[in-house]
Every structure is written in C-alpha cells, then in structure tokens.
Structure 1
C-alpha cells in the first residue's frame, strides 16, 4: 500500500504555455507524455462509492494496472488517500489482487466482485515531469487533458496535479505557490472519479447549504476541536467555491463569506492559547478576501428591493426613478466574470494553499509556550463553557434590556452578534439540542431583523438625488418600515436576554 499525497488544480487549456514556462525554471529529472485510458467500476447500487472507495483499471503502453483507492482526506485541494496497485491482464477487475485488509470489515469481497460493472471512463493525455525540489523532495507534476465519459455524455478534463513521490509534504505547497504566481489555477477538491460518478448519476449540481454544526465529543482536546473546526469551515468554503464555478450562484459566494467569518472567529476563540502572531498573515489575507466580497450584502438588498417588479416600492411616487437607479447600482457591482477571475487569482490561490499548509503542518505549534500547550491538550468542554459565558456577557452588555436601541446601534452591533452566533456554532454539539436551539432562536431572529434594516440602505443612499416632495415621502416610507422592524426587534431582544443559557 502507498499513500497518495497530491494537490489538484483546475486550469484552462491555455494554461499550458504558462506551465511550460514555469517548468523550464525547475530541475527536471524525468519527462514523458502518454495517453491514459481508465475504466472505473462499481456495483449497481454503488457500494464502493458509499464507502468512498474508487476502483479503476488503467491502460497505458499495453500495460494494465488495477488501482484501489480507499477513504482518505481532502483539505482544500490536498488529497491524501491510501492506494493499492496491481498489474492485471486486461480490463476486467479482479478484487483478489488487493490485500484483505484493504477492504472495510463489513465487505463481502466475493459478492462485490460478482456485481462489478463498468460505470464510466476517463481518457486523457498526460504530460508528466519529475521535479527535484531544493529540499531534496521529488514531485511528479502532471498536466492532463481529455474527457470523462459515460452513456454518451462527456465532461472535459484539464487539470494540473502535483504528487509527492518522496520527501516532505511542504514541498508540494512550495511548488504550487511558484506555479500559481501568475494566476490561472483553482484548487480542486473533485477527483476525476468523483466527476465520473456525477456524470453517471445525472448530477444536476450540489445544493447550497448553510454552515452546519460539527459533531464533537466532550472528551476531545481543545486543539483537536480547533483543527476540526478550521477544516469544517474550509470544506464549506471549498464546496461552495466549486458550486459557484459550476453555476455562478451568488448565494454560494455568501456561504464562502460565512466560512471566512467562521475561520476568523475560530482564531479569536482560541486566541488565548495560540498567539495572534502565529496566524497574523492568514488573518490579514482572510480580511482581504472578506473585503472582496463586501458587495454581496448590497447586492442582496438591491435584489430584494427589485423583486416582483419592485413591489416593495410600489407606493412611492419615485418608484420608476428608484428602480432605474437601483439597476444602475446593481450593474456597477462585481459581476460573475470578476468573481471567477478572483477564484483563479494568485492571491486567492495562495491564501487557500497557506491555510491548508498551516493546518496540516500545525503551523501554530512553534509559537506556543508550555502553558499554551497544556491548555490545548485539555478537554474542550470546560473551555467551551467558559468561552460561551464570556460571549454571553458581551451580548448582555451591548444589547441591554433596560433601553431601546435605534437603527444605527443595531447595525453597529451586527458583527458582534454574528461572532457570538459563530462561537455557539463551534461548540453546539456539546450541548442539549433543544435547549441550544431555543436559546439561539431569538438571536437568529434579531440578526434577520438587522439584515432587514440594512436591506433599506440602498434607498437611504439615494435620498439626496430626489426632489423635496419625493424626498419627504421616501423618508416617511423608510421611517415607517424602520419603526415596525425596531418594534419587533426590541421585543425579540428582550426575549433573548431573559433566556437561561444552555451551558452550565
């Protein structure tokens, strides 16, 4: 058995000239080009896929190699999977060629063997270079161009793969950073096999989902939860990046921004143990990317105001003028092409690479003192209790029950409320589900109220462009809507303040 460790990137066919230019500067040990034909197999009910197992027979130069890949780990484009290879006589798979301990305990290999059928194929040209890195590591760089095909359907392949053949994983990231200096590369979490399964099943696209609670145990260490939460957020980010690349749905960008917010909040939550300087560069770049997505809130507000032929604005005399102004503002916001270019930019790619590298190499550990190491090794439950208690006190301080809050005060506290809810998200599964849900509900409602308030901001920014009569009407319209929202929000806030915490 070998453990395949590789970084995968999606590129355009035009990237080849850029790639060749970069390779010319490297120390090449071997170079080759060949056509590879691959057939992937599974049972009718896809029992292998259910266990995250891939089975293929590859043909090259009249040689047939059967490969079994078992469940592994993917962190923002870095794939780590156990791999078993065996030479065979043809394209018919023979599961007995792989050791018994390669299979899950519940598998009846003989039964699976009888049901195997070809599901899809991948055929591509692979240009390949073995590169010697300065630290002594050797990396195989492959540029693949071809197609995934099944039942008359095809999906183009154009990928760059970096596979560690010997040496340190860190060398993969070093080479990747050099290759993406001029942009044009997007880290890929989907393998060719995953794309084949999608094609074979009539895949119509993943659903956009909100950040979910992460399974936790009270006896897990603080450091384990820190790592798993970062990986959870990174997975959410990368999944929705793929969705956006496929169908340019702005809601996927909103989820990417949510993931960025969670990552930044994780750095805050564990900042008492992990010095800020350990993550300084990452936090700087995360803040940059959040800034690149700041327009999403305005875009969502404009879209809501224009919904149903601007029904919300129907009572305003200036409706037609407002609609025209809102459309003009909408057109001035970043478009799909700009967002796709951002995802293939050098800075974006490097941020993902650096974050993945930092997580995998435990990049915070050199910055720890003995006290920090001891705290990180401790059980997460007491730490979560104390963290949520501090966060709750902050909410009580900024949303006091004894006075009313206005629009500006609510909007100013929106980031703090989001951070508080993110803290609860990190530790949610350590606590009773019903109590937790009941406590969070009014604060989630309050957040939605603030979002509704901010939805009116595009109208407020246009007030100065209108004549006095229309201006007075628009101001009264805004005032009525704000008063209604603030009344409901103040009631919700009082309900939230009076609730008993769900943690000890």
Structure 2
C-alpha cells in the first residue's frame, strides 16, 4: 500500500517560502520546464469516452500520450496508456492508439483545447526515515482567453511508511497555506473551456460489486472530500450555491461515517467525525442566513439580513483559511490510507462480507429508523420531526452511495421512485424545520419577534396543512418498494 501513496497539495496563495531556508529540503533541485498541449474534438468526444490526448514538450523533445482516464468507452481497455515520441505538436493518430478506431473520420476534428506550461522543481527528501519525492509545480493553464495559475506540490512515497509522507505534508502546511488537492491539471484545463461553475454537485460514486467494504468506504469518502474541496475553491466570491454544496459534501461525509460506523469504531474516527461536524456548522451559519434572505419579503429587513450574511461569510472564509480547517481534509485522508480501522480483528467479518449485502443491510437499518421515527408525524414535536429529517437525509445519501450496486433495470426504476418519494418527504420536513428554527435564528441575530411578520406570507399552507402533507409523504415513502431488494 505504501508504494502507491501520493498527495497533491494546492497552495492557497502563490507565495512560496524558501524551502531550503526552512530546512525542508536540501541541495539543488532537478528543474524541468514543460509545455503540454491537450487535444479533443470541439464537442469533447474524447473526454466523454474516457480518453485524454496530450503532447508534452521538454528538453528531450516531443512525447504524445494517449490515456484511458476512466469511465466511458475507455474503461474497457486493459491497457491504460499509449506513449510515443513524435516530431512536433501535431498528434499522430494511427493504429498505435485506439483513438482513430473509436472516432473514425471525426479524428480529423481533433484540435488543441488548452495548454499547460510549468516549471517543475524536484527534490528527494528523507523525512523521519521515509524517502519522499517532492515536486513543486508553478506555471499556468491557458484556454483561449482564459488563464489560471498553477501552484501545487506533489509528494510521492518512494520508501518507508505512509505516515511519514503525511507528517512531511503537515510540516509543509505549517510554513505555507496548503490545502489537499483534488483536481488534475487536465480537469482544471477542461474547466476553463466551459462556463464558470457556480457550484459542484455530487457525482455518482463509482462502486463495483467485487469491491471490499473498506474500499467502498474509502471511495465514498474521497468522493465527498473531492466535492467539498471543489466547492471550497468556488466559494471565494461568496456565492450561496457553492456554500450550500460545500455543506452538502460535509453532510455526505458525515453520513458515510454513520453508514459505516460498525467498521469505523475507534477514537480517531469519532474525532474526525466531530471535526467534520464542526466545519459543517461553520458553513451552516451562512446557509441559515441564505434561507432567511431568500424568504424575506421586507426590503429593509432583507438588507440587514444580507449584511449579516456577508459578515458570517467573511468569518467562515477566515475559518476555512485557518490551520484547523486546512488540516482537516489531510487528517481524514491520512486516516483513510493509514487508519487501523482497515485491519482490526473485531471488524473482519464486516470487512469481508459482500459489498451488496453490506449495502442492503445499511439501507434497511436507515429505512427502519425513518419508518419508526415518522409514525404519528403530525403529532410529534419539532425536535422529533427534525430527527426524522436527519435520518431521511442519511437514507438519501446512502441510497446515492450504493446506487451503482443495484443496476438491473427493475432496480433502477425502483431507485428513481424511491428517491422521488424520499425527496418529497425531505422537502416537506425542510419547510417545517425552517419555520420552527426561524424565531431562534432571528433572535440569535438580534431581531425581535416583530421580524417574523416579514416571513409569514412565504408559507402557502397552514401549519396543520404542512404537517398533514409531511405525514402523507412519509406514508408514501414507506409504501415505495425498496430498490435494493
């Protein structure tokens, strides 16, 4: 496992300390200047099929690299990479790669899409008995008239235990504002060719039936971390969509901890779950104000709420930039790679059971909680309804995590109906929860009870009507057939 560990760390700013002066590296680095051009068709057919095509120019000449990067048609090829020397920056698309066979005449439409120019400085580092290859990349990505800077560090474990690599990453983070990197240069380049994203929703989780339960948890957790980090990078302008999706990513990660809790017993897992909850709460204060601003019908009050929201966002941004938040994703990543939860004897039976069986059992447990908690939903108090809402969210996220394992035609149909019913329940419980929480949130912001009148007209139904609708949605969900059975 140790030999496969790599870490990418994004610099939050472009200022880079003198690594030699800081005592982190020694000696002169190997310096490599590279210019890479990525190619695709105008409608991005290569990317959709799971291929990438690039030509790299460095001191040794031109190298063309075609690669199966996962998903699409490329996933059927056992060989992941086709590399050859070429004379210049014009792609050679013959039978040495599958690209022309796949595209046919459309291969003639392939053209440059974006280019990446970097200077790489590379050191070999010995840290706490661990040999690490460290590469510092600086440069830019250019796609048409759009440009993005590159400032990132890659760490590759060459010899020793993974713990040493993470220890060195933390030492780097103590002298530079680093965050865990999740995007490749190719992904960033393609991002420049599209309309700027306001937020990133969760992608389907790529689980397969023969995957171990441990590997499934790692895959799910990595997907959540990726979604969070991508939205964190989009939050700089304060957009509410990115804030919301970053918070969704953290809630999904917390749900993953809960779904796999029988596998993850131990102090480290509990501490990390609490830290993820803390960070979600930081963003929650901003999200609460987004909801109030959107529902407020009084212009003067809405302006005051917008000002409070701006203050809350600045405070959240400062927290995200701080050492505790920056270290959290790295801590989770280390625990996923090195944690003892993967080898504990008492969880061996859980780890070795078929993944589909584990998933079905987890979904059954969560459904039972929602079913039991939702009995007499119209007659329970706000706290009990909120508990049902949280359990319904966990069930919704777990269903998304495991959907790929139940992909027969009938199961897919049932999945769609089940999610529709679950979302209907969540929507109705969400309205009830927002209404119940509003007085407390407004009071916390220093507003008196009169402020509530600015929101009363936003609800088209009476309280009794909303409760009845929620109870009806709960009954419909319980009557909906389970897609995993």
Q: 1:68 aligns with which of 56, 65, 69?
A: 65
Find the aligned partners of 1:475 and 1:36 in 2 and give their Cα distance. Answer: 58
Task: Quickly say closer, same or farther: Cα 1:350–1:82, change in 2 above 3 A.
Answer: farther
Question: C-alpha offsets along residues 276-334 of structure 1, whole Å, 9 cap, x if unaligned?
Answer: 3352342232122122222143123212223xxx2xxxxxxxx4664455345334422
Question: C-alpha offsets along residues 32-65 of structure 1, whole Å, 9 cap, x if unaligned?
Answer: 55654444445666565443324222234xx424
Hey, what does 1:178 align to over in structure 2? Answer: 171
Structure 1 unaligned runs (5+)? 74-80, 311-318
Question: C-alpha offsets along residues 224-251 of structure 1, whole Å, 9 cap, x if unaligned?
Answer: 4323322332333233334435x54322
Hey, what does 2:129 align to over in structure 1? Answer: 135
Q: 2:308 aligns with which of 322, 329, 335?
A: 329
Q: 1:348 aligns with which of 325, 343, 353?
A: 325
Q: 1:441 aligns with which of 420, 429, 447?
A: 420
262-271 or 395-404, which deviates more: 395-404
C-alpha contact 1:186 1:344 (8 A) present in aligned 2: no
Find the aligned partners of 2:339 and 2:105 in 1 and give their Cα distance. Answer: 42
Alignment of 1:96-495 (within 5 A): 103-104=97-98, 107=101, 117-144=111-138, 146-151=139-144, 153-164=145-156, 166-168=158-160, 170=162, 171-182=164-175, 184-199=177-192, 201=193, 203-206=194-197, 208=199, 210-211=201-202, 213-214=204-205, 216-218=207-209, 220-245=211-236, 248-277=238-267, 279-306=269-296, 310=297, 319=298, 322-323=301-302, 325-335=304-314, 338-361=315-338, 363-366=340-343, 368-369=344-345, 372-401=347-376, 404-431=379-406, 432-456=411-435, 457-459=437-439, 461-462=441-442, 481-495=462-476
How many residue pairs get aligned? The number is: 466
Structure 2 unaligned runs (5+)? 71-78
C-alpha contact 2:52 2:69 (8 A) present in aligned 1: no
Question: C-alpha offsets along residues 68-101 of structure 1, whole Å, 9 cap, x if unaligned?
Answer: 263458xxxxxxx9777766665555678xx95x
Find the aligned partners of 1:294 and 1:415 in 2 and give their Cα distance. Answer: 14
Hey, what does 2:477 align to over in structure 1? Answer: 496
Bigger relative contact order, structure 1 or 2 (CA pairs below 8 A, ≥6 apart): 1
C-alpha contact 1:405 1:490 (8 A) present in aligned 2: no
Task: Quickly say closer, same or farther: Cα 1:196–1:303, change in 2 above 3 A.
Answer: same
C-alpha contact 2:113 2:143 (8 A) present in aligned 1: yes
Matched, 1:15 2:21: no
Hey, what does 1:77 align to over in structure 2? Answer: none
Q: CA deviation at 1:408?
A: 4.3
Hey, what does 2:73 align to over in structure 1? Answer: none
**RMSD, matched Cα:** 4.1
